[in-house]
Amino acid sequence: MTVWKEDAARDLVLNVGDRLALLTRGEGSHVWDGDDKRYLDFLAGIAVNSLGHAHPAFVEAVAKQAATLVHVSNYFATPPQLELAARLKRLAGAGIDGRVYFSNSGAEANEAAFKLARLHGAGLHGAPERPRILALENGFHGRTMGSLALTAKKAMRAPFEPMPGGVEHIPATIEALESAIDDRVAALIIEPIQGEAGVVELPEGYLSVARSLTLKHGALLIVDEIQTGAGRTGQWFGFNHEGITPDAITLAKGIGGGFPIGALVTFSAASSLFTPGSHGSTFGGNPLATAVANAVLTEIENAGLVENAAARGAQLREVITGIDSPLIDEVRGRGLLLGVGLTAPVAGEVVAAAQELGLIVNAANPYTVRIAPALTIGDAEIEEFQTLFTAALAHVQATVAASEEEKANA
């Protein structure tokens, strides 16, 4: 075992498996490990590094703000905080009545969303109580206790039960939603694309129906845009694809381009639910994080990276479907959040083979390879991906074929 692996095994909490490599630096869509081996990064920190690694806009924003003002308590406002709040409201279409709560991660943003739902259902000011919160099967919203209660992954939840109550998980179908929703529902929380489930899109028209039904029954529609936001799907947000207006969205990952930050953006009447003392975060909305997020979002907007995500996503989909491999079944997702569905449960093997060849992708589940590169990729990166991914698939297919032949001859 190498020294760094010994250090990791000894010193890091055992909440994940063995670390795959010791990465030491990055530039654009490439990273290097401690042995100076170069990798094409087509995971981008799981849809986080919107601008890739060491982008000048990111580096300049960190340096400039670090030399100006890093942290003050949330008793005070700062210029980058106010600028980012206004920017997120504008990009999301939250209007003059919208408001923004800043956190440090996506899980924390969903904790805030959970509390927003509870406030809406609390029966305040003579309103009827709404004790039910609906979330979707196979959904993922985080690992803190509140966000885990919203998450429908039994293996993740079981060691920590009992969960905070009131959450019901329903199948991700329009029929199930129509059957489950009533006037006792405080909120429905959904991902436009279920990333951790294997980049699974909701049924066509689901968001529109969800918006209609939640309005009819007086429930909040909360859209978890943590993985789909900041232009990743070829629109600024996943809900934009169906032209709806939700009551709240949660954000993180790509809005900071690698700097830890999350946000809850509320629309219309939902913006009045939080009152002084009802929620807070020591570091949430600090000037360093918000300055970096402003720089990242400015670059995404000015460089046309939302449009690039749409165009490069279509190009990448065409490249993948054009690979002559019996392991490829389908390609799911939108923009630069794609899931390659496999015909055999060998996603882990494909990811390992890809890494050995110098390509970083991720196994969302045994049948799905997740691809989420920086929004800045172009022809060169896609061509390199094609070469490496094709080779990884061929290696795994040869191994599968050899195994099947051995079984047949046994």
Helix axis angle, 56-66 to 287-302, nearest 10°? 150
The rounded radius of gyration (Å) of the Cα atoms in the chain is 22
∠ CA(65), CA(69), CA(70), 5° rounding? 85
Reduced 3-state DSSP string for 304-344:
CHHHHHHHHHHHHHHHHHCCCCCCEEEEEEECCEEEEEECC
Question: Do residues 246 and 211 touch, judged by C-beta distance below 8 A?
Answer: yes
Task: Give yes or no for a contact between 104 and 289, defined as CB atoms under 8 angstroms apart.
Answer: yes
Chain position carrying tokens 């994080």: 289
The rounded distance, in Å, linking the Cα atoms of 66 and 86 is 22
Please give the angle made by the CA atoms of 168, 172 and 173, to the nearest 5 degrees.
115
Question: How does DSSP classify residue 233?
Answer: T
Give catalytic status of residue 224 as yes or no.
yes
Distance CA 22, CA 1 (A): 13
The first and second tokens of residue 396, run together, are 């795994």
Q: What are phi and psi of 120, to 5 degrees?
A: -65, -30
Return phi, psi of residue 119, to 5°. Answer: -60, -40
Q: Write the DSSP assignment of 150-172 as a string of letters.
A: H---HHHHGGGPSPPSSEEEE-S
Cβ 368 vs Cβ 340: under 8 Å: yes
Round to whole Å and give the CA distance between 334 and 200: 10
The residues pairing with 189 across neighbouring beta strands, listed in sequence order, are 135, 222
Tell me the binding residues for pyridoxal 5'-phosphate.
Answer: 106-107, 140, 224-227, 282
Give, as one character, the DSSP assignment of residue 229.
Answer: T
Give the other-Cβ count within 10 Å of 322's Cβ.
10
Q: How many residues does the chain have?
A: 410
Known active-site residue 18: no
Binding-site residue positions for N(2)-acetyl-L-ornithine: 143, 281
Give dist(CA 158, CA 147) in Å, integer: 14
Catalytic hit among 140, 237, 239, 267: 140
Which is catalytic among the residues 114, 224, 274, 385?
224
Residue 72: φ, ψ to 5°: -135, 165
The residues assigned a catalytic role are 140, 224, 253
